[in-house]
Homo-oligomer: A and B are copies of this chain.
Amino acid sequence: MHELTARQAEILAFIREHLASEGRPPTRPELARAFDLTSTNGVQKHLMALAAKGAIELIPNAARGIRLLQEAGLPLVGRVAAGSPVLAIENVLGRYPVDPSMFNPRADYLLQVRGLSMRDEGILDGDWLAVHRTSEARNGQLVVARLGNDVTVKRLKVRGTKAELIPANPDFQTLHLDLTRDSLEIEGIGVGVIRNLTAAVAPPARKVHRL
């Protein structure tokens, strides 16, 4: 999908909100009113641009025939490849119908937790950690941190230039960092945990495309 222009992103956001608050997509006149356009044709062109870029699908001759694509839920991030951004395509295992607003602050993605380093806080191997993307974390928060090429989930403690990444399992060691030397990048904070109790991970429940 090509990059959207600022205007197109605004319009896409409005469609998303309308869908959430009204339960149906907007019409072109509704969009025109929302953006103070006097002609529905301006809207139509934006919609066609969004459709061309793969952000939406337009169903011909259907009232409110606007369908959001690739909007179903949050991406599930598996093992993070060394050096790659967390949300890089190669790390994403699929999309799952989790409502971002279920957690506070909003969840941006799901991270599949590996290992038992947070076992005593009830976070087990394979659990999904709902992560709010931010580079700012406060003392005591559960953070998704990047240390060099590794991504890890721990409790954060900061004192001046010293930082600690504290596991919740006596079998694991607390990581002591000197912020004047070591690089500590916060990828986000953990806002929720989701565990599937039955069998293997189900395939994404909501299909993105339709033929």
| A residues at B contact (CB < 8 Å) | 19-25, 27, 63-68, 73, 96-99, 101-105, 119, 121-124, 127, 130, 142, 189-199, 202, 205-206, 210
CA distance A197 to B20 in the complex (A): 25
List 4 additional contacts besides A19-B23, A73-B99, A191-B198; criterion CB under 8 Å.
Answer: A24-B64, A24-B65, A101-B206, A119-B122
Q: Which of B19, B23, B104, B119 contacts A198 (CB 8 A)?
A: B104
Complex contacts, A25 vs chain B, CB 8 Å: 23-24
CA distance A195 to B194 in the complex (A): 7
Complex contacts, A190 vs chain B, CB 8 Å: 197
> In whole Å, how far is A48's beta carbon from the nearest beta carbon of chain B?
18
Please tell me if the beta carbons of A63 and B104 are within 8 angstroms of each other in the complex: no
Please tell me if the beta carbons of A194 and B197 are within 8 angstroms of each other in the complex: no
CA distance A193 to B19 in the complex (A): 28
| Contact of A97 with B105 at beta-carbon distance under 8 Å, contacts A192-B195, A194-B193, A197-B192 already known | no
CA distance A128 to B121 in the complex (A): 15
> In whole Å, how far is A37's beta carbon from the nearest beta carbon of chain B?
20
Complex contacts, A197 vs chain B, CB 8 Å: 103, 130, 142, 190-193
Please tell me if the beta carbons of A196 and B191 are within 8 angstroms of each other in the complex: yes
A21, A73, A97, A142, most chain B CB atoms within 10 A: A97
> In whole Å, how far is A99's beta carbon from the nearest beta carbon of chain B?
4
CA distance A103 to B104 in the complex (A): 22
Query: What are 14 A-B residue pairs whose CB atoms fall within 8 Å in the complex?
Result: A21-B210, A23-B25, A27-B63, A63-B63, A63-B64, A73-B99, A97-B101, A102-B194, A122-B124, A122-B195, A142-B197, A192-B195, A193-B193, A194-B195
Give the nearest-CB partner of A30 in chain B: B62
Please tell me if the beta carbons of A193 and B191 are within 8 angstroms of each other in the complex: no
Complex contacts, A24 vs chain B, CB 8 Å: 24-25, 64-67
